[in-house]
């Protein structure tokens, strides 16, 4: 069942809102869970609303109440449209709940069916359990084949269901121990939250590619993908869940921590700093906004240009544009204005209106940019289709020159850890040099921040080539976790695995 985007227009924090052609990397999913608070579903709905930028296709909440048992609601579309009415929340009683907002990174790409909406719920011999997952299992296809050959019956196309079946087939006496056993068999990037009758469980993969944070919510506890979800519901940030850590949280006993995996070097996704996380979140004690502003500073140092204005491509390019302006001394200006209400303006757009593409969402500030040399700062270039349209729009509005500065290195390799990336041959940087891309886009100059510059912007002195501090596979092609399914299918050559 495809998502009707005219019924469910994209969220204002959704970076894809800037892009009519899907010419952006699409983020993963968002998780929120809490235990030990009254009306837990309300807090989860608030947390998911703050995380809506991580997934706009669908959302779900599962709660547990000793009298009512487990209850769930799974809906297509936005949290604000599905989980704000009182009658919905009243059907989700309990002092413990978990929730998930989804963008389909596995299964059927670009569409969501109700059967794929998380959290997934299952009844095991020792009781019920709901599971939600952010990331991607790189051996999910192999696991699914092995499980179905042994009699497992899958109900969804989500790789998360592999975790559920592995738990069901475990031999340990309780669900947390079975989860440990199951997650030791999976490969890839994952942050998982789970809910049993008495426990809220959170786990990160051994390299910590995907985020998960712990907060205090009144007398209870909360887990979330980002700290911005704590702000909206009044929770206090406590700390990050460490790479390879499992926390088991109960109302009575608090937080119990264990390390179920072999130690591995931390490889957090650097694109969380560049693009995915909300700018008001904090990652590793560092403001996402400040990291993005610093990227702009590095860009201005590495790729100076003579110009009259620095303009962001809204909204994801804004912090970097501010940093570029501050470092270069070129005035910052809003040369492009975003129409916040486009999604509800055209209920049934005609083909002619569809073909207007980016102009439905972005409009040049003609009086400001006419006759000016303009530096446009954007977060990334994927296929380049949107960049061409924005350049044409600026020239049509009278800009004298258009220079692009990109707040990430060239995206040359697909991601297999929870981000939907086009096939490599569709990535502009995989087939063209920087100068060829400049000519293809038709701009006066094009420069990307270097990988070393990006590392400096996020607080590192330099990138450790032998063992990079972050996962930067989409830029370097060095995959810290072997993407087994992709190697087996031939999507990438075997030598690109594990940092080769």
Contact 475, 421 (CB under 8 A): no
Which one, of 419, 416, 427, lies nearest residue 487 by Cα?
416
Q: Please state, in angstroms and rounded to a whole number, the distance separating the CA atoms of residues 119 and 116.
A: 9
Residue in 29, 34, 228, 415 annotated catalytic: 29
Which one, of 76, 87, 90, 175, lies nearest residue 131 by Cα?
175
| CB-side neighbour CA atoms (13 Å) of 477 | 14
Which one, of 410, 472, 453, 464, lies nearest residue 303 by Cα?
453
CA 281 to chain centre: 13
Q: Which two tokens stand for residue 356?
A: 């207007």
Residue keyed to tokens 């070097």: 265
3-state SS class at 197: coil
| Residue 414 neighbours by CB distance under 10 Å | 23
Q: Do the bridges between strand 445-448 and strand 401-406 make them parallel or antiparallel, or are there none, so unpaired?
A: parallel
Is 29 considered catalytic here?
A: yes
- For residue 420, the 8-state DSSP code is B
The residues that bridge with 194 in the sheet, in sequence order, are 131, 201
What contacts 24+ positions apart, CB below 8 Å, involve 272-276? 272/211, 273/457, 273/458, 274/379, 274/380, 274/407, 274/408, 274/454, 275/15, 275/25, 275/27, 275/316, 275/379, 275/380, 275/408, 276/15, 276/27, 276/28, 276/53, 276/54, 276/419
Residue keyed to tokens 């994801």: 316
Contact 55, 103 (CB under 8 A): yes
Q: Please state, in angstroms and rounded to a whole number, the distance separating the CA atoms of residues 155 and 48.
A: 24
Q: Please state, in angstroms and rounded to a whole number, the distance separating the CA atoms of residues 126 and 472.
A: 41
Q: Which residues are catalytic?
A: 29
């Amino acid at each position: 069942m495809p998502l009707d985007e005219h019924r469910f227009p994209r969220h204002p924090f959704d970076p894809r809102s800037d892009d009519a052609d899907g010419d952006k990397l699409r983020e993963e999913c968002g998780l929120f869970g809490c235990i030990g608070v009254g009306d837990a579903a309300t807090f989860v709905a608030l947390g998911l609303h703050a995380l809506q930028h991580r997934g706009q296709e669908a959302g779900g909440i599962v709660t547990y109440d000793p009298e009512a048992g487990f209850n769930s609601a799974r809906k297509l579309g936005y949290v604000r449209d599905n989980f704000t009415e009182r009658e919905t929340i009243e059907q989700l009683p309990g002092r413990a709940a978990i929730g998930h907002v989804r963008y389909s990174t596995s299964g059927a790409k670009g569409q969501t069916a109700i059967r794929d909406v998380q959290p997934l719920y299952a009844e095991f011999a020792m009781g019920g359990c709901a599971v939600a997952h952010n990331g991607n299992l790189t051996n999910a296809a192999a696991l699914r084949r092995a499980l179905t050959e042994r009699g497992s019956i899958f109900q969804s196309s989500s790789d998360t269901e592999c975790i559920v079946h592995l738990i069901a087939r475990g031999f340990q006496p309780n669900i947390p121990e079975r989860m440990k056993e199951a997650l030791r068999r999976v490969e890839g990037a994952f942050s998982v939250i789970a809910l049993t009758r008495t426990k809220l469980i959170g786990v990160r993969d051994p390299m910590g590619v995907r985020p998960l944070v712990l907060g205090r919510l009144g007398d209870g506890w909360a887990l979330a993908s980002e700290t911005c979800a704590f702000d909206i519901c009044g929770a206090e940030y406590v700390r990050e869940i460490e790479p390879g850590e499992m926390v088991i949280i109960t109302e009575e006993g608090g937080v119990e921590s264990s390390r179920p995996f072999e130690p591995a070097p931390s490889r957090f996704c650097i694109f969380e700093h560049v693009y995915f996380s909300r700018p008001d979140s904090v990652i590793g004690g560092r403001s996402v906004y400040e990291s993005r502003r610093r990227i702009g500073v590095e860009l201005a140092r590495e790729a100076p240009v003579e110009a009259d204005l620095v303009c962001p491509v809204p909204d994801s390019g804004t912090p970097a544009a501010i940093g570029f302006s501050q470092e270069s001394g070129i005035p910052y200006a809003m040369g492009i204005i975003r129409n916040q209400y486009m999604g509800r303006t055209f209920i049934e757009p005609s083909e002619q209106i569809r073909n207007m593409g980016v102009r439905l969402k972005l409009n040049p500030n003609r009086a400001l940019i006419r006759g000016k040399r303009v530096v446009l700062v954007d977060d990334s270039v994927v296929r380049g289709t949107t960049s061409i349209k924005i350049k044409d729009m600026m020239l049509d509005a009278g800009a004298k020159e258009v220079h692009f500065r990109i707040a990430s290195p060239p995206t040359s390799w697909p991601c297999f850890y929870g981000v939907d990336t086009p096939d490599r041959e569709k990535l502009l940087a995989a087939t063209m040099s920087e100068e060829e891309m400049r000519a293809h886009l038709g701009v006066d100059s094009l420069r990307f921040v270097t990988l070393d510059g990006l590392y400096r912007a996020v607080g590192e002195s330099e990138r450790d080539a032998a063992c990079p501090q972050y996962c930067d596979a989409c830029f370097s092609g060095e995959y810290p976790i072997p993407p087994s399914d992709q190697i087996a299918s031939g999507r990438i050559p075997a030598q690109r695995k594990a940092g080769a």
